[in-house]
Amino acid sequence: MEATTLAEVWQDVFLTQSPPPQWVVIASAAVALAAVLVRGPWRIARNVVTIAHEGGHALVALLSGRQLTGIRLHSDTSGVTVSRGRPEGIGMVLTVAAGYVTPSLVGLGGLLLLLADRITALLWISILLLAAMLLLIRNVYGVISVVATGALVFLISWFTPEEVQGAFAYLFTWFLLFAGVRPVFELQAQRRRQPSPHSDADQLARLTGLPGTAWVMVFGLVNVAVLAFGGWLLLL
């Protein structure tokens, strides 16, 4: 990005960019899938999923009128979002339900920007969302995780050519689409191995009367549907 004033920066952000060749789109999908399936890369990349997951809880909590206390992200890639308000009701249900579907939905939002050739806009909107979330983080690891993610996106958007930005944007979008599915399987495996009343699915079971396993299925169906739809659009 060659802009020097704030006005020029924003003008550049909302310009359209040429999409990368189809082979780059396919290659980025393969790399993103590997990052989700291979244990080592997934252990690191899952932090991005946790950021999106907790961000989803936080956003819906605010939209439903709850008072947001803060967000904590942990080195084991778990997280917790604390809000105050009625302990039951539709606002609480939506807040709890938002976490596992948010990474996939964020990926879908990124995909729509890519289809409109707004590659730089996608990167900078991501930076702004991370900056907003940083204000809510209440622990050191969470700050490091969000800042590191935002810094990576900024460096790519500011210092790399259009072709690199395009490849990264598609990689990032593919990753969120793929990565939305795996945590749902991990959730069910953890529920079987170490049952806990604190998982999102089990909290929803108490709030709604619908069994926790049914909520896991809802998360899975939503995320698989988003992946299928998004993949179809990207590979057209």
- 3-state SS string for 96-118: HHHHHHHHHHHHHHHHHHHHCCC
Please indicate, yes or no, if residue 13 is contained in any of the structural domains.
no
CA distances from 222 to 3, 63, 175, 184, 227 (A): 40, 21, 16, 11, 9
pTM to 2 decimal places = 0.93
Assigned domain for 212 exists = yes
Q: Is residue 5 part of a domain?
A: no
Question: Which regions of the chain are under pLDDT 50?
Answer: none
Please report whether residue 220 resides in a domain.
Answer: yes
pLDDT at 118: 93
The pairing of strands 67-73 and 79-84 is antiparallel
Q: Is residue 6 part of a domain?
A: no
pLDDT for residue 17? 84
Is 12 part of any domain? no
Structural domain range at position 159: 21-234
Residues near 9 by beta carbon (within 8 Å), at least 6 away in sequence:
1, 3
3 part of a folded domain: no
Contact in structure between 226 and 107 (CB atoms under 8 Å): yes
Counted domains in the chain: 1
94 is written with which tokens?
Answer: 């939506």
φ, ψ of residue 160 in degrees (nearest 5): -110, 155
- Give the model's pLDDT for residue 3: 54
* 10 within some domain: no
Please give the pLDDT value at position 196.
Answer: 83
